Chains A and B, each alone.
Chain A
Amino acid sequence: MMKTAHPHTLDALRPGESGTILALHTTADLRHRLAALGLRVGKRVRLLRRGRFAGPLHIRVGTTDLMLRVTDACCIQVQRAHG
């Protein structure tokens, strides 16, 4: 039987891992800005690195690199991609 991956929030990804955005649980204002930065449902995100001492996440979506805090990444639900 194939293992089905559970949805995770973006901050659960490990450096080098990717995921597809399933949902953005946030205010409309932030959702607009995230969308303008390329974070939309269906887009693939890769976690490049994490900042020291619970610092921000460095992620890539499409051709754009972004940083965002763990507290903000928590509201982005992703499906972890394998391989």
Chain B
Amino acid sequence: MKRVALIGMPNTGKSTLFNRLTGAHAKVGNWPGLTVELLSAKILLGNEIVELVDLPGIYDLRAQSADEAVVTTFLAQYRIDLALVVLNASQVERQITLLGQIARPGLPSILVLNMADEAAALGISIDRDRLSADLGMPVCLLSAKYGQGIEQLHASLAAALRKGAGAAPTEATALDEPSLDAAIKASVQIPAHASHALTEKIDRVLLHPWLGVPLFFGVMFLLFQAVFFVGKPIQDAMAWGLTAFRTAVLDPAFAGLPAVLSGLLLDGIYNGLGTVASFVPLIILFFLCMAIVEDTGYLSRAAFLMDALMSRFGLDGRSFVMILMGFGCNVPALMGTRVMRSRGLRLLTMLVIPLSLCSARLQVFLFFIAALFPAAIAPVVLFSLYLMSIASAMLTSLLFKPRFVNSDPFVLEVPPYRFPTLRQMLLSGWREVGHFLRRATRFIVAGVVLVWLLTNFPAGAAPGSAETWAGQIGSFLNPVLSPLGIDPKLTIALIFGFVAKEIVIGSLAVIYAQQGGELMTTMAHQIDWVQAYSFMLFSLIYTPCLSTIATIRTESHSRGFSVLAVVWPLALAWITSFAFYQTARLYWP
């Protein structure tokens, strides 16, 4: 099968083009020799199926960030039959150098000038045929976002693949920098004052010296509110529906099975999966909102606004954006650090991201807050946990700043504001949700089954009692965790929270053999708010989940660092909970 590689600079709409060409069929895959997973898809071009691979966005093949290394290695190790070089049509003047680094005699290439709509709006005119003649390769002018010019690209792709090596630039074509610059000068007319008028107007407000930062936090706060305002009722409805289905259909249907088997299937797997399923609407909404904020270009403004503060903590504006992304899920945020070149900065950012209060932890907190705090102060309690999340991240970076020195220059593009189309939003939202579900279900099914086994065996022990394996582990760890007000049953939940925070509430349901409202009432009788808050603090700070650790391991390529990323938060969690619990107990004995 022939292979087509999509190569381009960041902010050129490369992923949008990939989505446009492949629909939603792309798969994430491992490539031997590469340190990251790549998105690829099989598509029909003309009358043959070809494999389209999306490579990370890069600025310069000679540079040394992790992303650039991936592209260089890929080009060296894997045969490609066609290079699709994607540039931003309104910035082709500066981006054309990348073409010179990739195109070479013998490698069929097509130059794609994306965002033709923006270039036209700026008054930039491009003589496509002349450019194509000068560069010795097909040139496509298109807008992946709105789908204009895609047919022409399809035709060029099919023709180039048919011609094979015949479609490659010949030795006679000069692709050095001066020739490329000359070719652009001859074919591209840029008005003297090409600027995005609307973006300038918006920036005057959103990047305002005094209003910028408060506005940013206001926007983020409203976004979080909106997610929960819309998502919470859906989540409640799903939870209710799943319980109703169990009582009405599953309980009678499984009544004939041996108790052990029906217990495993219903209390273990069904309850566990139900916990995740009811959580999915919130996740979808959250990812959708984050995707919109990201696509509009507001996150790079956030980097601008926060860089001065972050630099005092040894981080930079990008780190702040990653921490924000971490509020959704830590794993994609960790992968986002690949754009950082300085290893010190990258590791320091990777050390603080897991302290971001991710959506899985949020679920645990929502449960505990609903069970143990009056509704009036619930938002304040939740907000205090967000503050603790940021405070622990700041403390961590201050402490480890001297060890992970940031030598990375901070130069970032500030793209014009763009509003994503509905199609784009749904596609990127869908992809994120797919990743999340694959990761989550793997751990949750296994995790909940394990909790069930540990809380129901050895045979003869009363479920959830001190005689079960879980009870024994809880008692064993009791000396360490009782100073934090965490009892043996909560200890079990914490152990499973190490696998994935999504399991915590599910495992409490299994441990107490209760669900939903009943479980909340039981919790309120078993522990008081001081214990609950101490438990939440510990859950917030200690090791986020196995996926995060696995990601840290693969992204850092360092066992020592991965150990640090597990041990330090564990220590910090213990100290924080201990300090809180012992102090609070003095006032609320």
Which residues of A are at the interface with B, using a C-beta cutoff of 8 A? 26, 28-30, 32-38, 40, 48-49, 51-56, 58, 60-69, 71-72
Contact = CB atoms under 8 A, between A and B. Distances in A.
B116 to A, nearest CB: 14
Given A28-B62, A55-B308, A63-B90, 16 more contacts: A29-B64, A32-B60, A32-B63, A33-B59, A35-B97, A36-B94, A37-B59, A40-B94, A49-B209, A51-B307, A52-B305, A61-B94, A64-B413, A65-B199, A67-B300, A67-B307
B97 A36 contact: yes
A38 B59 contact: no
Given A29-B64, A52-B209, A67 B97 contact: no
A30 B305 CA distance: 23
Contacts, number: 115
12 contacts: A32-B62, A37-B59, A52-B213, A55-B308, A56-B304, A56-B410, A58-B203, A63-B122, A64-B91, A64-B94, A69-B411, A72-B410
A12 to B, nearest CB: 18
Most chain A beta-carbon neighbours within 10 Å: one of B60, B97, B316, B317: B60
Given A36-B95, A36-B97, A54 B60 contact: no
Given A35-B60, A54-B308, A68 B207 contact: no
A51 to B, nearest CB: 5
Interface string B415-430: 1100000000000000
Given A33-B59, A33-B60, A58-B207, A52 B308 contact: yes
A28 B409 CA distance: 13
A53 B308 contact: yes
> Secondary structure at chain A's binding surface: helix, strand, loop or mixed?
mixed
Classify chain B: how many residues form its interface, as a range. 35 or more
A5 B50 CA distance: 58
Contacts of A60: 195
Nearest to B200: A48
B446 interface: no
B197 to A, nearest CB: 13
A55 B304 contact: yes
A65 B200 CA distance: 10
A65 B59 contact: no
B522 interface: no
B95 A68 contact: no
A34 B410 CA distance: 11
A26 B190 CA distance: 29
Nearest to A59: B414
B376 interface: no
Given A32-B63, A55-B304, A65 B413 contact: yes
Contact of A51 (B97, B203, B305, B409): B305
A54 B24 CA distance: 44
Interface in B85-111: 90-91, 93-95, 97-98
B311 interface: yes
A67 B303 CA distance: 9
Interface string B189-208: 01000110001000100010
B388 interface: no
B195 to A, nearest CB: 7
A69 B59 CA distance: 19
Contact of B305 (A28, A55, A62, A66): A55
Interface string B388-424: 0000000000000000000001111111100000000
Interface in B300-325: 300, 303-305, 307-309, 311, 316-317
Contacts of B90: 63
Interface in B356-415: 409-415
